């Protein structure tokens, strides 16, 4: 599992800059309704720009397991993020590690994913009609109190169960990511609009500052 993911990357140049800034993952959005959508036929240079240096994460919204397998197999992408309303039985058919994006409303909602077949969670703010990338923050203090650390453990989990790592998303910027990490105490962070000059266009300086400040946050909270 990675610590710092720059999502909504739309070009090989920005992908390379994200890795140079210190990100250990980049997200490529294959949802046509996103302003950061990348057609699968245009994604190969982005994947190649980070291969061997960082993880490429394929972001889907309500795509079929067959579509996901085809796109990831052809591009050589090894991690999938599900950001829509994909049912558990559909996710179970995906042969790649799955990050389940959970869009929270008022700090509640993750309990419904207790038995979801995924290796990790990404927590973002719920916005009607949207599937992430809105720049709206969650209540970090509430997350810190209810989750209590970098791994999600449900009430019925055996005490020996270490839980599943989770990433914080939503409204993160270079200016607030240190505080967000020290307050919410996630395993990792995900940023899109907070390091852009325009939708889908990343800024080198903002990415470097974000990564540096995120590392300070992780160091400060001992995660």
DSSP per position, the chain: --SEEE----SHHHHHHHHHHT-SEEEEE--TTSTTB--GGG-HHHHHHHTTTSEEEEEESS--HHHHHHHHHHHT--EEEE-S---HHHHTT--S-EEEEEEEBTTB-GGGGTT---SEEEEEE--TT--S-S-----HHHHHHHT-SSEE--TTS-TT---EEEEE-SS--TTTHHHHHHHH--SEEEESGGGEEETTEE-HHHHHHHHHHHHHHHHHHT-
Given a contact cutoff of 8 angstroms between Cβ atoms, the answer to whether 6 and 18 are in contact is: yes
Which candidate in 14, 24, 124, 190 is catalytic? Answer: 124
| 124 is known as an active-site residue | yes
Which candidate in 7, 72, 190, 203 is catalytic? Answer: 7
Given a contact cutoff of 8 angstroms between Cβ atoms, the answer to whether 160 and 195 are in contact is: no
| 7 is known as an active-site residue | yes
Residue among 152, 132, 133, 148 at smallest CA distance from 184: 148
Catalytic residues: 7, 124
């Amino acid at each position: 599992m990675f610590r710092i993911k720059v999502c909504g990357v739309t070009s090989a140049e920005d992908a390379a800059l994200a890795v140079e800034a210190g990100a250990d993952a980049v997200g490529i959005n294959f949802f046509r309704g996103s302003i950061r959508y990348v057609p699968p036929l245009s994604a190969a240079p982005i994947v190649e720009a980070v291969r061997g240096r960082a993880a490429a994460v394929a972001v889907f919204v309500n795509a079929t397991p067959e579509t996901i397998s085809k796109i990831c197999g052809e591009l050589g992408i090894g991690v999938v993020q599900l950001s829509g309303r994909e049912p558990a039985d559909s996710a179970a058919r995906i042969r790649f590690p799955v990050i389940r994006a959970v869009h929270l409303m008022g700090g509640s909602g993750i309990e419904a994913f207790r038995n979801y077949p995924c290796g990790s969670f990404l927590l973002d703010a719920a916005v009607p009609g949207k599937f992430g990338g809105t720049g709206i923050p969650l209540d970090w203090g509430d997350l810190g109190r209810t989750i209590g650390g970098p791994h999600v453990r449900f009430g019925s989990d055996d005490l020996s169960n270490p839980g599943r790592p989770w990433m914080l998303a939503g409204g993160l910027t270079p200016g607030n990511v240190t505080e967000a990490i020290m307050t919410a105490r996630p395993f990792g962070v995900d940023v899109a609009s907070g390091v852009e000059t325009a939708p889908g266009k990343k800024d080198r300086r903002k990415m470097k500052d974000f990564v540096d400040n995120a590392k300070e946050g992780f160091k400060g909270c001992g995660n």
